[in-house]
Structure 1
Amino acid sequence: MSRREIREQIFKLLFRAEFYEEAELPEQLQLFFEELDKKEEKDTAYIQEKFEQILSHMSEIDKMVNEIAQGWKTTRMGKVDLTLIRLAVYEMKFEEEVPTGVAINEAVELAKSYGTDDSASFVNGILAKLA
Protein backbone atom coordinates (compact mmCIF):
# COMPACT_ATOMS: atom_id res chain seq x y z
CA MET A 1 0.00 0.00 0.00
CA SER A 2 1.09 3.57 -0.58
CA ARG A 3 1.54 5.97 2.33
CA ARG A 4 -1.69 7.70 1.31
CA GLU A 5 -3.63 4.42 1.28
CA ILE A 6 -2.19 3.47 4.67
CA ARG A 7 -3.16 6.88 6.09
CA GLU A 8 -6.67 6.44 4.71
CA GLN A 9 -6.97 3.02 6.37
CA ILE A 10 -5.79 4.47 9.69
CA PHE A 11 -8.42 7.20 9.33
CA LYS A 12 -11.13 4.59 8.71
CA LEU A 13 -10.02 2.57 11.71
CA LEU A 14 -9.93 5.65 13.97
CA PHE A 15 -13.36 6.69 12.72
CA ARG A 16 -14.70 3.23 13.47
CA ALA A 17 -13.27 3.42 17.00
CA GLU A 18 -15.46 6.46 17.70
CA PHE A 19 -18.50 4.22 17.85
CA TYR A 20 -17.24 1.45 20.13
CA GLU A 21 -16.23 1.05 23.75
CA GLU A 22 -12.54 0.54 24.49
CA ALA A 23 -13.17 -3.11 25.41
CA GLU A 24 -14.61 -3.73 21.93
CA LEU A 25 -11.64 -2.29 20.03
CA PRO A 26 -9.57 -5.51 19.77
CA GLU A 27 -12.50 -7.26 18.10
CA GLN A 28 -13.11 -4.25 15.83
CA LEU A 29 -9.43 -4.22 14.89
CA GLN A 30 -9.62 -7.90 13.94
CA LEU A 31 -12.79 -7.34 11.88
CA PHE A 32 -11.23 -4.32 10.18
CA PHE A 33 -8.23 -6.32 9.00
CA GLU A 34 -10.42 -9.22 7.86
CA GLU A 35 -12.34 -6.78 5.64
CA LEU A 36 -9.24 -5.06 4.26
CA ASP A 37 -8.66 -5.94 0.59
CA LYS A 38 -5.02 -5.20 -0.18
CA LYS A 39 -3.12 -6.10 2.94
CA GLU A 40 0.45 -6.98 3.55
CA GLU A 41 1.71 -8.01 6.95
CA LYS A 42 4.06 -5.03 7.24
CA ASP A 43 1.22 -2.64 6.36
CA THR A 44 -1.22 -4.13 8.84
CA ALA A 45 1.43 -4.06 11.57
CA TYR A 46 2.15 -0.39 10.80
CA ILE A 47 -1.56 0.51 10.72
CA GLN A 48 -2.22 -1.24 14.02
CA GLU A 49 0.80 0.33 15.72
CA LYS A 50 -0.07 3.83 14.56
CA PHE A 51 -3.72 3.35 15.50
CA GLU A 52 -2.72 2.31 19.01
CA GLN A 53 -0.25 5.18 19.32
CA ILE A 54 -2.88 7.72 18.30
CA LEU A 55 -5.33 6.27 20.83
CA SER A 56 -2.68 6.48 23.55
CA HIS A 57 -2.13 10.19 22.79
CA MET A 58 -5.81 11.04 22.28
CA SER A 59 -6.24 13.13 25.44
CA GLU A 60 -3.11 15.18 24.61
CA ILE A 61 -4.25 15.65 21.03
CA ASP A 62 -7.76 16.72 22.07
CA LYS A 63 -6.30 19.14 24.62
CA MET A 64 -4.15 20.78 21.90
CA VAL A 65 -7.14 21.06 19.57
CA ASN A 66 -9.44 22.43 22.27
CA GLU A 67 -6.90 25.12 23.16
CA ILE A 68 -6.80 26.59 19.65
CA ALA A 69 -10.25 25.83 18.20
CA GLN A 70 -12.21 28.99 18.97
CA GLY A 71 -15.87 28.14 19.47
CA TRP A 72 -15.32 24.52 18.45
CA LYS A 73 -14.49 22.02 21.15
CA THR A 74 -13.80 18.45 20.11
CA THR A 75 -17.15 17.42 21.56
CA ARG A 76 -18.93 19.66 18.99
CA MET A 77 -16.93 18.69 15.92
CA GLY A 78 -18.20 16.28 13.31
CA LYS A 79 -16.72 12.80 13.69
CA VAL A 80 -15.05 12.81 10.26
CA ASP A 81 -13.43 16.20 10.80
CA LEU A 82 -12.35 15.35 14.32
CA THR A 83 -10.85 12.02 13.27
CA LEU A 84 -8.87 13.67 10.47
CA ILE A 85 -7.67 16.41 12.80
CA ARG A 86 -6.56 13.86 15.39
CA LEU A 87 -4.65 11.85 12.80
CA ALA A 88 -2.90 14.94 11.43
CA VAL A 89 -2.09 16.36 14.86
CA TYR A 90 -0.56 13.04 15.85
CA GLU A 91 1.60 13.10 12.71
CA MET A 92 2.57 16.74 13.26
CA LYS A 93 3.42 16.47 16.94
CA PHE A 94 4.53 12.87 17.51
CA GLU A 95 6.00 11.63 14.21
CA GLU A 96 9.21 13.35 13.18
CA GLU A 97 9.38 11.69 9.76
CA VAL A 98 6.09 13.24 8.58
CA PRO A 99 6.51 16.89 7.55
CA THR A 100 3.83 19.20 8.93
CA GLY A 101 2.79 20.32 5.44
CA VAL A 102 2.28 16.73 4.34
CA ALA A 103 0.16 15.91 7.41
CA ILE A 104 -2.05 18.95 6.78
CA ASN A 105 -2.35 18.35 3.03
CA GLU A 106 -3.24 14.69 3.48
CA ALA A 107 -5.89 15.53 6.09
CA VAL A 108 -7.42 18.15 3.79
CA GLU A 109 -7.50 15.72 0.87
CA LEU A 110 -9.20 13.07 2.99
CA ALA A 111 -11.67 15.72 4.23
CA LYS A 112 -12.60 16.44 0.61
CA SER A 113 -13.36 12.75 0.08
CA TYR A 114 -15.08 11.86 3.35
CA GLY A 115 -16.33 15.10 4.88
CA THR A 116 -18.91 17.72 4.12
CA ASP A 117 -18.44 20.65 1.72
CA ASP A 118 -16.95 22.69 4.58
CA SER A 119 -14.73 19.95 6.03
CA ALA A 120 -11.58 20.67 4.04
CA SER A 121 -11.46 24.34 5.01
CA PHE A 122 -12.39 23.58 8.64
CA VAL A 123 -9.70 20.90 8.99
CA ASN A 124 -7.15 23.13 7.25
CA GLY A 125 -7.96 26.07 9.56
CA ILE A 126 -7.59 24.04 12.76
CA LEU A 127 -4.38 22.38 11.63
CA ALA A 128 -2.86 25.64 10.38
CA LYS A 129 -3.30 27.13 13.86
CA LEU A 130 -1.49 24.15 15.35
CA ALA A 131 1.36 24.20 12.84
Structure 2
Amino acid sequence: MKRRISRENAFIAAFEESFDASSMSEIIHYSRETQEYAVDEFGETMLRNLLAHREEADKIIEPNLKDWKLNRLPRVCRIVLELAVTEMMYGEEGTSIVINEAVEITKKFASDEDYQFVNGVLGAIARAHFPEEQGDSTCTRSE
Protein backbone atom coordinates (compact mmCIF):
# COMPACT_ATOMS: atom_id res chain seq x y z
CA MET A 1 0.00 0.00 0.00
CA LYS A 2 1.31 3.45 -0.87
CA ARG A 3 2.18 5.61 2.12
CA ARG A 4 -0.28 8.32 1.09
CA ILE A 5 -3.14 5.82 1.18
CA SER A 6 -1.78 4.43 4.41
CA ARG A 7 -1.76 7.92 5.95
CA GLU A 8 -5.29 8.63 4.68
CA ASN A 9 -6.55 5.37 6.17
CA ALA A 10 -4.83 6.18 9.47
CA PHE A 11 -6.46 9.61 9.38
CA ILE A 12 -9.90 8.04 8.80
CA ALA A 13 -9.35 5.67 11.74
CA ALA A 14 -8.23 8.53 14.00
CA PHE A 15 -11.21 10.60 12.89
CA GLU A 16 -13.56 7.74 13.74
CA GLU A 17 -11.87 7.25 17.11
CA SER A 18 -12.36 10.96 17.89
CA PHE A 19 -16.10 10.34 18.12
CA ASP A 20 -15.49 7.70 20.83
CA ALA A 21 -17.31 5.12 18.74
CA SER A 22 -14.83 2.30 19.37
CA SER A 23 -11.34 1.70 20.63
CA MET A 24 -8.53 2.20 18.16
CA SER A 25 -7.78 -1.53 18.22
CA GLU A 26 -11.37 -2.30 17.27
CA ILE A 27 -11.29 0.27 14.47
CA ILE A 28 -8.04 -1.13 13.07
CA HIS A 29 -9.33 -4.70 13.29
CA TYR A 30 -12.59 -3.81 11.56
CA SER A 31 -10.79 -1.89 8.79
CA ARG A 32 -8.64 -4.93 8.06
CA GLU A 33 -11.51 -7.36 8.28
CA THR A 34 -13.69 -5.45 5.84
CA GLN A 35 -10.79 -4.08 3.74
CA GLU A 36 -12.61 -0.73 3.87
CA TYR A 37 -9.92 1.92 4.47
CA ALA A 38 -7.68 -0.86 5.77
CA VAL A 39 -5.01 0.27 8.21
CA ASP A 40 -1.69 -1.36 7.32
CA GLU A 41 1.38 -1.71 9.54
CA PHE A 42 2.66 1.79 8.71
CA GLY A 43 -0.75 3.32 9.51
CA GLU A 44 -1.02 1.32 12.71
CA THR A 45 2.37 2.63 13.82
CA MET A 46 1.17 6.18 13.15
CA LEU A 47 -1.99 5.57 15.18
CA ARG A 48 -0.13 3.97 18.09
CA ASN A 49 2.25 6.94 18.16
CA LEU A 50 -0.73 9.28 18.10
CA LEU A 51 -2.38 7.51 21.04
CA ALA A 52 0.86 7.38 23.03
CA HIS A 53 1.97 10.95 22.32
CA ARG A 54 -1.17 12.98 21.57
CA GLU A 55 -0.79 15.14 24.67
CA GLU A 56 2.84 15.90 23.81
CA ALA A 57 1.86 16.74 20.21
CA ASP A 58 -0.95 19.01 21.40
CA LYS A 59 1.53 20.94 23.56
CA ILE A 60 3.65 21.54 20.47
CA ILE A 61 0.69 22.46 18.25
CA GLU A 62 -1.20 24.88 20.51
CA PRO A 63 1.42 27.67 20.74
CA ASN A 64 1.59 27.72 16.92
CA LEU A 65 -2.14 28.24 16.32
CA LYS A 66 -2.13 32.06 16.44
CA ASP A 67 -5.49 33.21 17.79
CA TRP A 68 -6.95 29.68 17.84
CA LYS A 69 -7.40 27.15 20.60
CA LEU A 70 -6.88 23.47 19.90
CA ASN A 71 -10.35 22.54 21.13
CA ARG A 72 -11.91 25.08 18.71
CA LEU A 73 -10.22 23.77 15.57
CA PRO A 74 -12.25 21.82 13.04
CA ARG A 75 -11.90 18.14 13.94
CA VAL A 76 -10.29 17.31 10.58
CA CYS A 77 -7.56 19.93 11.05
CA ARG A 78 -6.84 18.91 14.61
CA ILE A 79 -6.43 15.25 13.73
CA VAL A 80 -4.28 16.00 10.68
CA LEU A 81 -2.06 18.23 12.83
CA GLU A 82 -1.77 15.65 15.61
CA LEU A 83 -0.91 12.85 13.20
CA ALA A 84 1.63 14.99 11.36
CA VAL A 85 3.35 16.21 14.52
CA THR A 86 3.60 12.70 15.97
CA GLU A 87 4.99 11.50 12.65
CA MET A 88 7.55 14.33 12.67
CA MET A 89 8.56 13.31 16.18
CA TYR A 90 8.55 9.51 15.85
CA GLY A 91 8.43 8.69 12.14
CA GLU A 92 11.14 8.06 9.61
CA GLU A 93 10.19 10.63 6.95
CA GLY A 94 11.60 14.14 6.73
CA THR A 95 9.40 17.01 7.87
CA SER A 96 8.83 18.33 4.35
CA ILE A 97 7.33 14.99 3.29
CA VAL A 98 5.13 14.83 6.39
CA ILE A 99 3.91 18.39 5.83
CA ASN A 100 3.16 17.75 2.16
CA GLU A 101 1.20 14.60 2.98
CA ALA A 102 -0.74 16.39 5.74
CA VAL A 103 -1.63 19.21 3.35
CA GLU A 104 -2.87 16.72 0.75
CA ILE A 105 -5.05 14.94 3.33
CA THR A 106 -6.42 18.30 4.45
CA LYS A 107 -7.25 19.25 0.86
CA LYS A 108 -9.13 15.99 0.46
CA PHE A 109 -11.09 15.94 3.72
CA ALA A 110 -11.38 19.53 5.00
CA SER A 111 -12.78 22.86 3.85
CA ASP A 112 -11.21 24.64 0.89
CA GLU A 113 -8.91 26.99 2.81
CA ASP A 114 -7.94 24.71 5.71
CA TYR A 115 -4.89 23.29 3.95
CA GLN A 116 -3.19 26.72 4.10
CA PHE A 117 -3.75 26.88 7.85
CA VAL A 118 -2.40 23.34 8.35
CA ASN A 119 0.61 24.10 6.14
CA GLY A 120 1.40 27.27 8.11
CA VAL A 121 1.12 25.62 11.51
CA LEU A 122 3.22 22.60 10.50
CA GLY A 123 5.81 24.83 8.84
CA ALA A 124 6.17 26.87 12.04
CA ILE A 125 6.49 23.68 14.10
CA ALA A 126 9.11 22.25 11.73
CA ARG A 127 11.19 25.44 11.88
CA ALA A 128 10.99 25.59 15.68
CA HIS A 129 11.38 21.92 16.57
CA PHE A 130 13.25 20.37 13.63
CA PRO A 131 15.58 23.13 12.36
CA GLU A 132 18.20 20.57 11.27
CA GLU A 133 15.81 19.40 8.55
CA GLN A 134 15.03 22.79 7.05
CA GLY A 135 16.28 22.85 3.49
CA ASP A 136 17.09 19.13 3.51
CA SER A 137 14.15 16.96 2.52
CA THR A 138 16.29 13.81 2.66
CA CYS A 139 16.93 13.95 6.38
CA THR A 140 15.14 11.23 8.35
CA ARG A 141 14.87 10.31 11.96
CA SER A 142 14.36 7.03 13.82
CA GLU A 143 13.30 7.00 17.45
TM over 0.5: yes
1:20-70 deviation line (CA, Å, top 9, x unaligned) = 16x73332332222232586xxx7233223211211100000111112211
The corresponding residue for 1:119 is 114
Is residue 2:35 matched to residue 1:48? Answer: no
Amino acid at match of 1:32: S
Is residue 2:71 matched to residue 1:75? Answer: yes
Q: Which runs of 4+ in 1 moved over 6 A?
A: none
In the alignment, structure 2 segments of 5+ residues that lack a partner are 127-143
The corresponding residue for 2:86 is 90
Pairing partner for 1:63 from 55, 59, 62:
59
Report the secondary structure of 2:19's partner residue: coil
Contact 2:77 2:114 in 1 (8 A): yes
Per the normalisation by structure 2, the TM-score is 0.79
- Structure 1's 94 and 49: CA in aligned 2 closer, same or farther, altered over 3 A? closer
How far is 1:122 from its partner? Answer: 1.0
Please provide the CA RMSD for this pair: 1.9
Per the normalisation by structure 1, the TM-score is 0.86
Contact 2:14 2:24 in 1 (8 A): no
Contact 1:65 1:73 in 2 (8 A): no
Amino acid at match of 1:57: H
Contact 1:88 1:104 in 2 (8 A): yes
Report the secondary structure of 1:59's partner residue: helix
The corresponding residue for 1:15 is 15
Deviates more, 1:115-124 or 1:46-55: 46-55
The corresponding residue for 1:2 is 2
- Structure 1's 30 and 69: CA in aligned 2 closer, same or farther, altered over 3 A? same
- Structure 1's 26 and 92: CA in aligned 2 closer, same or farther, altered over 3 A? closer
Q: Matched residues, percent identical?
A: 32
In the alignment, structure 1 segments of 5+ residues that lack a partner are none
- Structure 1's 38 and 28: CA in aligned 2 closer, same or farther, altered over 3 A? closer
